[in-house]
Amino acid sequence: MARRSKIASATLIAGALLLTSLGLGGIAASAGPPLPGSGAASSFAATRSGHSMAVSTASSPEDPDGDGYIPANPQVTGVTPSTKEPPHRYFHEFQATCAVTHTRPDDPIVYPGQPGKSHDHTFMGNTTTDANSTTATLDAGTTACRAPGDKSGYWMPTLYKGDRQVLPLGPQVIYYKAGVTDYTSVRPFPKGLRFVVGSPTQTALEFRSHRGFVEGWECGDSFFNVDFPTNCPNRADVQLNIRFQAPSCWDGKYLDTPDHRSHMAYPVVNPGTNNNICPAAHPVALPMIEFKMAFPVNGDLSQVRLASGPAWSFHYDFFNAWDAPTLQALVGHCVVGGLQCDARGYDQTHPEAGAALDANYELP
């Protein structure tokens, strides 16, 4: 495909995705509390520097021509979205528990090879992630994830209270779930797949209407918040939390696209069966990542902000560098197997199923 036609296609897709996020693309916006910042904040978000979501044009070792397209090798073709409904299992998931490693104003997906160009990010998982990270450098790095085979990079805008960074403490839970009804059709991520979930320039309405929105910002008994709660109970056991889900349907063609989104899509409802299936243009079912982050801050939250801007600018990035056999074992045992697994791939309610990994969180 010529670069001109590829970029034109990406522009059309990006426009469709924006309409979808606004609730105008056949997906109704969720009801919720009054939204802050629908006027001035929208203008602020559109002009905020440090992380625009413009089409990438920089070259990198994995994208030498700088057109933003990184083809999968091999591509996955001939897949039809599954409409099957396997035996009901309430869970089909496992956890990747990964600790914070460092902060840095880098983003190897949006600004590859351009250190310091992004707003500040909090990195988890791979200890080496920076602006120059590639699949090969992540493979060669080390990890703060419980499973040594997970060398993926996970990152999000750094949270501040005033001028002080507030970093999640200890392992954070990153769920890998089935986003489609036919959980037996889910396959592992291809090595090197990367994408951005949400946008630093989204408005409050776009954040609330986003397909990945689960419970928004929550603290104590306060849930479904688009903005940070003004106050949280000032107790040691209370933290500021957010849960946000990623798209889980892949086009099978690209590991990345210029807008870092168009190669991925959220499941759609099959009108014939009312099941969640992958759309025809993104037929490959992959694990659905869900960030569940906890920030050790409570009490007066009036000075809390994100490096990317207001609370509704929350977004995150994922760069897959799992050891392929390890990821295959966890997806096959836990997601396809319909279990609720911990980071070892063990389900306490189904001990007879065993675990995917050994006591050291490695393949047996």
Q: How far apart are CA 274 and CA 280, in angstroms?
A: 16
Q: Would 141 be classed as within a structural domain?
A: yes
What total number of domains does the chain contain? 1
The closest alpha carbon to 199, from 308, 67, 69, 125, belongs to 308
Cβ neighbours for 271, distance < 8 A, ≥ 6 positions apart: none
Give me the phi and psi of 40, to 5 degrees please: -60, -35
The closest alpha carbon to 57, from 113, 137, 5, belongs to 113
Q: What is the pLDDT of residue 20?
A: 37
Spell out a b/e string for 218-239, using b for 16 or more CB atoms within 10 Å of the CB, else e: bbbebeebbbbbeebeeeeebb
Q: Would 91 be classed as within a structural domain?
A: yes
H helical segments located in 181-307: 204-209
Q: What is the pLDDT of residue 349?
A: 96
Q: Would 15 be classed as within a structural domain?
A: yes
Q: Would 309 be classed as within a structural domain?
A: yes
Domain that holds residue 346: 3-353
Give me the phi and psi of 161, to 5 degrees please: -120, 105
Q: How far apart are CA 298 and CA 229, in angstroms?
A: 10
Asked if 178 and 298 touch (Cβ cutoff 8 Å), the reply is no
Q: How far apart are CA 70 and CA 72, in angstroms?
A: 7
Q: How far apart are CA 237 and CA 220, in angstroms?
A: 9
Q: Would 76 be classed as within a structural domain?
A: yes
Q: What is the pLDDT of residue 206?
A: 98
Asked if 120 and 159 touch (Cβ cutoff 8 Å), the reply is no
Residue 46: DSSP 8-state: H
* Token pair in block for residue 313: 């600018």
Asked if 4 and 69 touch (Cβ cutoff 8 Å), the reply is no
The pLDDT averaged over each successive group of 10 residues in the chain (364 residues) is 39 39 32 42 35 59 92 96 94 98 98 97 98 98 98 98 96 97 98 98 97 94 93 92 98 98 97 93 98 96 97 98 98 98 98 98 98
The closest alpha carbon to 60, from 293, 299, 319, 287, belongs to 319
Q: Would 92 be classed as within a structural domain?
A: yes
Distance of alpha carbon 169 from the chain centroid: 20
Give me the phi and psi of 45, to 5 degrees please: -65, -40
Q: How far apart are CA 240 and CA 264, in angstroms?
A: 29
Q: What is the pLDDT of residue 2?
A: 40
Question: In the 3-class helix/strand/coil scheme, how is 159-210 assigned residue by residue?
Answer: EEECCEEECCCCCEEEEEEECCCCHHHCCCCCCCCEEEEECCCCCHHHHHHC
Asked if 261 and 14 touch (Cβ cutoff 8 Å), the reply is yes
